[in-house]
Structure 1
C-alpha cells in the first residue's frame, strides 16, 4: 500500500506470498475513510488495464453496505469478464479533494476493527494436514502470524521438539484453506476443539507450557489399548501423562530388528557408530561390545504418531542418538521444554 497523487495504491495479492494483508487493508481503508467522512472511488489499477481511461475502470459497490459486503462486491467487480473468480488485484482508491496529510490522519485514527465471528466447524475442517504442514514450514522459516499473539498455555511441537504457538499454526493454515485473514476470534484452541484435533492429526504434539493450563489431556480408548501392550517404564509413564501420543511413538521405536538394521546401515555409511546430536562415539569411549548398546534409534519424522497400521518404517525415518540425547528429546516432546535443534 502506498500514497499516490490520486489517493492510495493497494497492491495486488499474488497467491500466498504477496500482500497477505490485502483484505484487512482494504476493509480498514474503507472503514477509516467512512469514519473520517472522506469520499473515495475505487478503480482497477492492474498493469494490463492502466492504458484504459480511469472512468472505465471504476468498480461499483454499495457504499452503505457492511464493510465485508463491500469487499465481496469489489472482488466480484474486479474479476468481472475474466476466468478468475478470486483474484485480488491492484487497486487505486482515489480521494479527490483530500490531501496526503488528511489521508494519513484518517489512516492513523482509531477505528473499530471488522467484526470477527466464530467460524462453524464445517468451515474449520476445510483445513487439511497439507495446509498445517505448510503453515509449520512458514513459521520455521521465520515468518510470523501477526494477527495472533504468542501462546500462553500450550505449545505445538514438531517431532524435533520445536515449539510453535498452536493458534498461529492453525491460523495460517486456515487462511490458506479458506482464503480469509484469520483472527483469534474465528476459532477456539483447547482439548476437544477442532483446532487441536486437526493439529494432532497433522502430526504435531500439543503439550502444556510450563506454568500453563494444568488440566490433563484426556486419553482415548485407542491410547489405553496401546498402553496395555507397551509395558512402559515409570519415566515413560510420566511422559505419557504429558502427552499420550508418545505411546504410538514409543511402540514404533521398539519394532523388532529396526534398531539393528539402522545401526548396520549407519556404520556402512559412516564407518562407525556415533550420536547424531552430541557426536558421542561410544565405541571409542566404552569399547565395541558396550559401545553399540549406547546408541538407540529415534523416529524423527513429524508424522510418526499418525502412521496407519501396517506402515513400513524406513531407516531414513530414524536417527541414531545416544541414550542421554534420546531421553532428553522424549522429555522435550512431552513437556514442551526448550526447542531441540536437529
Structure 2
C-alpha cells in the first residue's frame, strides 16, 4: 500500500525562488505536452530533447511521464463520452514532482536537483522530520516526492510503500453505516453496537464556517475566505481520521476480520434531502471516510468489502419487511424496534450482496 508523509521546508529566499520557478515551469511544460497530444502529435516518442524547458533533465522526464498519464485519462474519458465534447485537461495548481532516484532525505535536510544558471545542481533544504518519519525513511521504499503549496507555505510530500498485514478469512464481521446525523455506526454480532462522531456538532461547525464565509465574501476579503475554506477542510479531514481510527480500533479489539461498508454510489443524487441538510450532504466526503477506514483496516490485516446499499435502513433485520423509519426511530409491524442507523449497520453486516471495491471517487 502506498502512503504519503508531509514535511515542512525552511527555505532561503534564493531556494524559494528556484523552487517556485521550477513549479511554474513544471505545470506549464506538462500542459504543453498534453496539448500537443490533443493536437495529434505522438507524445509517446517525446524525450527531454524534444522540447525546451527551464528544468533539470530528471524533472523534464517526470513532466513527460505525468503528461502521458493525463493524456491517457483524457482519451479514456473521451471514449466513454463519445457524444459529448470532452474538456482538455489543464494542470493549474503549482507543483513539482521529483522521482526517488533524485532526492535524498537525511540529517534534517532534503537534497534534490534544481536548474541554477542553466546547470543542474543539488540544493540542500532544511526541514523538520519527526521520529516516526525517520523510522519510515529507514524501513520503507520511497516513491515520488511532490513539492506543493500548503496555505502560503511550501511543503514536500514523499510517498512510500507500507506492507499490509495478510488478511485472514473469518465469520466475524463488522457492518458500518455512514450518515450525516450519525457520522458512523458499527455493529458486530454478539459484540454490540458503537456510534462514532457527533453529527450535530459537525453541522454546527459547517454552518459556522458557511456564515463566516458569507460575511467575508460581502466584505470582499477573498484571501480570508480561502483561509477559512482551508481551515474547514482540515477540520473535516481530522474528523474523518478520528472516526475511521475509532472504527478500526474497535474492529481490532473484537478480532473482526471483515468490515462491510455501503458502496455509496450516487449518494448525492439518490438521498432524500431538504433545504436544512442539503449543505451538509454536499459538503461531507463519504468517499474520503470510506477510504480512511479501508486503508487503516488493511494495515491491520482486516478485509474491507462493499455491499449494495439498497434498503439497508428500511428493511427489518427480523422479518424483512421494508418501510421508512420515523426520523431516527425504526418500528416494524413485527414488533422490532431500533435506531434507524443501527438497522442499517445490522443489514450491512448481514448483507451477502458484495458489489466490489471502492472505486467510487466520482460519486462521493
TM-score (norm 1): 0.21
Pick the structure with more helix per residue: 1
Pick the structure with more strand per residue: 2
TM-score (norm 2): 0.21
